[in-house]
Amino acid sequence: MPNSFTTDDNLLSVVNGYSDAVKHRQQLEKSGSDFSESKGEVANTIAQLHPRRLQLQVVEIIVETASTKTLRVKSLSKALPPFQAGQYINLFINIDGVDTARPYAISSSPSCRDHYDLTVKRLDSGYVSHFLLDRIQAGDHLQSTGPMGTFHYNPIFHGDNLVFLAGGSGIAPARSMIEAFAAENSGKQLHILYSSSYQDDVIFDQELDTLTAANDFLKVSRFISRANDAAEKISGRISQQDIQALVDDIDSAMFYICGPTSFNQACETMLAQLQVKARRIRIECNGPPSRPQDRANWPAAVDSQQSVEITIQGRGSFIASSNEPLLNSLERNGYSAENACRSGECSLCRVKVVKGSVYNPSEARLRKSDAQYGWCHSCVAFPLEDLEIIL
């Protein structure tokens, strides 16, 4: 019943401009569309940039070192979405019936949309890295999120003097950055201070030599933290003096830090002592703290080894330990929550705690109002007592 404006039309026709607007409306109606031609457009446009899930196949497995492999993955359907060097995807896997996931930085060039390289290092205390290294074969299918994360070059304020402090597999996003800068010839300088535990543990060792030889913008200083037979490499951990000696014009530098949590913390402390401002430091988030009980604000009265009961409203309950992130124990007990960074940042795994309390380490980038109503980021939340949560 178009144009049936009941009584209002007559009433409002005395209003100056009313009939003009009615006419305008009728004109627009003649030339307009009901938008049905753009059905699906929003979803398609977004899926090109930020697909929710990627269906991947492992096409090649490259052995980098005794403890590290690169999984080369291709998309099973559409082209892979673009990403910014430094970003990660979150890999979803099922290990012996348990659904879980881990984020991995893409180590390949962002200009390559044919495949992503995911460089995975064995973590002794790990769970997923063993599975990926020991049980994944070429041809296997994997599922992931689209590329995401804030750890990447930002031309608005990062500048040209770039210093990357990489520890172990933290070299993965650095490799992607090298490739990105090599493709654009933009005048940036990249100096990588790269620390590995042992000489035979240096990921991309040869390749970094080749890249350094081919690219004037790139400099790599290697550190071997646990061996002393490293001929041309600096031995020992990266020290404050090393940074001071190796980094040109420290005030203009932008520092990227990516490595194990202890490495990241050590680097952050050294840079702070060198008076580097927080705004010139980017740190890749790196999972939940492995020993939350060592943090200064862990409640002293709580034994981190204690068992607590987690009740999921309307669904069931299980026993977990105070030193395990809530998301992990949920997954192990057959519950799932959306997640991506698993480091407290992306907030996809928000869960509401209705009874009991959790420990939120500084990794948990909670909004003010989250804390007010008991929302936590389950990937980095540790149950301090029996909990009741809403999933």
Partner 1 sequence: MTDFDVIVIGSGNAGLTAATRAQLRGARTLLLERHNIPGGCATSFVRGDFEFEVALHQLSGMGTEEQPFVMRQLFESLGIMDKIEVVEEQQLYRIVMPGEFDVSLPANWLELQQHLAKLYPAESENVSRYFNLCESISMESFMLLPQARKANDPDLLKQSCPNYIDYGLRPAKQVLAEFFSDQDLIAVLSAYWCYLGMPTKDLPFVDMAMLIYAYAAFKPCHVKGGSQAISSALLESFMQAGGQVKFNTGADKIITDNKQVKAVRTEHGETYSCRSVISNASAMHTYNELLDTPSPPAQAATDMKSRRLGTSAFVLYIGLDCPPEAIGVTEASTFIIDDRDEETACEKMNSLAPPSHTMLTCYNLEDSSFAPPGKSNLSVLCLQYGAPWEHVAAEDYANTKYQFAQSLLDHVERVFPGIRANIEEIEVATPLTMMRYLNTAGGAIYGFQQNTQDSNLFRENINAIDGLYMAGCWNGMGGFQPTYMLGDQTAKQVVRDLQKQNTEEVAHA
Please give the residue ranges that form the binding site for partner 1 (CB under 8 A). Answer: 1-2, 4-8, 10-12, 14-18, 20-22, 24-26, 28-30, 32-36, 38-42, 45-46, 48-50, 81-82, 84, 111, 113, 150, 154-157, 277-279, 338, 345, 347-350, 365-370, 372-373, 375
Q: In degrees rounded to 5, what are phi and psi of residue 343?
A: -135, 10
Cβ at position 347, least distance to partner 1 in Å: 6
**How many CB atoms are located within 10 Å of the residue 271 CB?**
24
Angle at 99 between CA 108 and CA 116, to 5 degrees: 10
Residues 53, 143 contacting (CB under 8 angstroms) = yes
DSSP at 21: H
Question: Hey, is 76 helix, strand or coil?
Answer: coil
Eight-class DSSP state of 3 = T
Rounded to a whole number of angstroms, the minimum distance from the CB of residue 27 to partner 1 is 9
Q: What angle do CA 87, 89, 91 make, to 5 degrees?
A: 155
CA 307 to chain CA centroid, Å, is 30
Which CB, 22 or 246, lies closer to partner 1? 22
Residue 51 or 168: the one with the smaller Cβ distance to partner 1 is: 51
Q: Please tell me whether residue 12 adopts helix, strand or coil conformation.
A: helix
Please identify, using beta-carbon distances, which residue of 329 and 339 lies nearer to partner 1.
339
Residue (278 or 319) nearer to partner 1, CB: 278
Residue 36 or 228: which CB sits closer to partner 1? 36
**Which of residues 184 and 303 has its CB atom nearest to partner 1 in the complex?**
184
CB of 227 to partner 1, least distance (A): 36
77 residue type, one letter = S
Cα–Cα distances (Å) from 224 to 174, 206, 221, 292, 367, in that order, read 18, 15, 10, 28, 40
Instruction: Tell me the C-alpha distance between 292 and 347, whole Å.
Output: 19
Indicate the residue among 63 and 279 with the shorter CB distance to partner 1: 279
Both tokens of residue 159? 């500048």
Question: Nearest distance from residue 284's CB to partner 1, in Å?
Answer: 13
Minimum Å distance from CB 184 to partner 1? 9
Q: Kindly state the smallest distance separating residue 11's Cβ from partner 1, in Å.
A: 6
Nearer to partner 1, 74 or 365 (CB): 365
Integer CA distances (angstroms), 191 to 243, 274, 281, in order: 11, 17, 14
Give min distance, CB of 361 to partner 1, in A: 14
Please state the closest distance from residue 270 (CB atom) to partner 1, in A. 19
Phi/psi class of residue 188: alpha, beta or left (left: φ > 0; alpha: ψ in -120 to 50)?
A: beta
Residue pair 238/265 in contact (Cβ under 8 Å)? The answer is no
